[in-house]
Amino acid sequence: MKRHPQLWLLAAIILAAVLSASARPAGVNPYYLGVAVDVGINVILAVSLNLINGHTGQFSLGHAGFMAVGAYVASSITLGLAARFGGPALTPLLFAGSLLAGGLAAALAGLAVGVPSLRLRGDYLAIVTLGFGEIIRVILQTTDAVGAASGLKGIPKFTSFGWAWALAALTVYVVACLVNSTYGRGFIAVHDDEVAARSMGINTTRYKVTAFVIGAFFAGLAGGLYAHHKQFISPGGFDFNKSIEIVVMVILGGMGRTAGVIAAAIVLTLLPEVLRPVAEYRMILYALLILGLMLARPQGLFTWERRTGAKPGPQPT
């Protein structure tokens, strides 16, 4: 398993595809399938943000902006080509293509945001990424070609449980493989101590920008999945609150702990669904639960996972 993580990825993708293909015939409630897709998308978002905020230690508050870029680019492509492509045989190809294009466009945006991160740190970086996210949103809101404030409607429903979970597996694979390699330990070194990292020959500039680009790419993929799941997107759905939601997942999961972040993404996606029966008090309870969690388990929900070999030990005296 340690030697061939690729096989695990392959197995996960096949499993997702098989489950997805058999779910509808087996009569699984579509509502549950929809929630499962949400879970997959949020796992992608949280794990990719974890690369930036957790592993690399940059504080980004603009993840929803990258998601928006991916969502808009991907759905514009499918909306433009769906009529011409027609055939169901080509649908997966078209979808994969538009997702990829969305991811790449978001990665480009990530490059643009990553560059200021070279000069700024901490709260200043947070506010600049927040600003980028808001700028993206305002631009979308005023661009008639993508429906301005009313957004894009009638996006074909291409996203299935299989797509969401396969791409979630890919995201986890990429981030986990990166930070568990001699190359990728540089990300953690940048997080821990930039000065020391530089003096150990780590090109911190390059690592930070790389983290932003990869993180943004996967956020873009998630955006594409989201658009083809909800079939409707509007700029308001990618605002500051969405970014905060993802940040909360990363922090609750315990910054830089992949397994914890996945678990937090799942829990925080399911929580509002579970709370549906209490309707009008749902979000109040949600807020109270987050507060309770922070008071009870401030180190993150899932702290038993060891981070790249290190386990908690006594502090030097």
Q: Show contacts with another protein in window 218-247 (CB under 8 A).
A: 234-236, 240, 244, 247
The rounded distance, in Å, linking the Cα atoms of 45 and 246 is: 7
The rounded distance, in Å, linking the Cα atoms of 53 and 125 is: 11
CB of 289 to another protein, least distance (A): 9
290 binds another protein (CB under 8 A): yes
Q: Which residues contact 215 (CB under 8 A, 6 or more apart)?
A: 48, 49, 51, 52, 60, 63, 66, 110
Q: Which residues contact 81 (CB under 8 A, 6 or more apart)?
A: 94, 98
Residues 119-148 that bind another protein (CB under 8 A): 119-120, 123-124, 126-128, 130-132, 134-135, 138-139, 141-142, 144, 148
The tokens of 173 are what? Answer: 């694979």
Helix H or strand E encompassing 5: helix 5-23
The rounded distance, in Å, linking the Cα atoms of 187 and 212 is: 11
Residue type, 16: A
Residue number with CB closer to another protein (26 or 310): 310
CB of 43 to another protein, least distance (A): 18
6 binds another protein (CB under 8 A): yes
Backbone dihedral angles phi then psi of residue 164, each to the nearest 5 degrees: -60, -45
CB of 75 to another protein, least distance (A): 17
Burial 179-203 (b: 16+ CB within 10 A, else e): beeeebbbbbbbbeebeebeeeebe
150 binds another protein (CB under 8 A): yes
Residue number with CB closer to another protein (84 or 276): 276
Residue number with CB closer to another protein (126 or 227): 126
Candidate list 12, 19, 96, 116; residue touching another protein; CB under 8 A: 116
**Considering only 32-40, 84-92, 96-104, 277-285, which stretch makes contact with another protein by CB under 8 A?**
277-285
Residues 157-196 that bind another protein (CB under 8 A): 173-174, 177-178, 181-186, 188-189, 191-193, 195-196
The rounded distance, in Å, linking the Cα atoms of 230 and 227 is: 6
CB of 87 to another protein, least distance (A): 33
153 binds another protein (CB under 8 A): no
Residue number with CB closer to another protein (27 or 316): 316
CB of 277 to another protein, least distance (A): 16
296 binds another protein (CB under 8 A): no
Backbone dihedral angles phi then psi of residue 237, each to the nearest 5 degrees: -75, -10
The rounded distance, in Å, linking the Cα atoms of 148 and 92 is: 28
111 binds another protein (CB under 8 A): no
Q: Token pair 């997959």 is at which residue?
A: 40
